[in-house]
Copies of this chain bind each other. A is one copy, B any other.
């Protein structure tokens, strides 16, 4: 356990999901500002660039515990680091990727993910042509090895990029292997025990929103 330094035992408010999704946007913007040598930035200044409400930015940032200076704003570097710590982006959270198809490969080659907390240390598949090869620097192993390896390496984050037809059964195998959090990039609604964290990123959901808004705007509906 360790020494518990935080006095306010609970109630550091759990950030809402919309807030969590905006935090990486701030990080990217702050990196940009850092590269330009900016020292401080205010919420209204960020608001005008990012087209968010400035009050919302202040509130979003407050969940990290950062302190700003009235009339000045926030220290750019400190703010970026504080958000990164809050989200766990400063750690290299080791993850397994299951399903080394095109989308899986895209994630394997997406090394920027490491700056955002995720390090994929192995991929798994059932395709004999891929097994025991490497993609980039990442080994692709037979899925049967998932359980033993997850236990040995204490990996408990999994990325699911299989075909839809095997998404549910694969997810169950991941859970059985000790995976506690699954980033689900299939459009399938997984049925898993409640204590497993599942984050869905469905392409179809986003296509649905895009097309509907597009068609509505074409028909001249209010927005």
Of chain B, the residue at the smallest CB distance from A222 is: B14
Once A88-B215, A199-B206, A212-B87 are accepted as A-B contacts, the answer to whether A110 and B103 lie under 8 Å apart by CB is yes
Contact A116 B204 (CB under 8 A): yes
CB of A102, distance to nearest CB on chain B (Å): 4
Residues in B with CB closer than 8 Å to A218 are 180
Could you say how many copies of this chain the assembly holds? 2
A188–B101 CA distance with the chains assembled, in angstroms:
25
Give the distance in Å from the alpha carbon of A59 to the alpha carbon of B204 in the complex: 20
A14 to B216, alpha carbons, bound, how many Å?
Answer: 9
Q: What residues of B have a CB within 8 angstroms of the CB of A101 in the complex? A: 106
A17 within 8 Å of B (CB atoms): yes
Residues of chain B within 8 A of A164, CB atoms compared: 28, 112
CB-based closest 9 A-B pairs: A24-B204, A21-B205, A181-B214, A199-B210, A102-B106, A106-B106, A103-B106, A88-B211, A201-B206
Q: Could you name 24 residue pairs across A and B whose Cβ atoms are closer than 8 Å? A: A14-B222, A21-B209, A23-B208, A25-B187, A25-B202, A25-B205, A49-B191, A50-B189, A89-B211, A93-B214, A102-B105, A103-B103, A107-B203, A110-B203, A116-B208, A117-B207, A180-B214, A181-B217, A183-B210, A195-B217, A197-B210, A197-B217, A199-B206, A199-B210
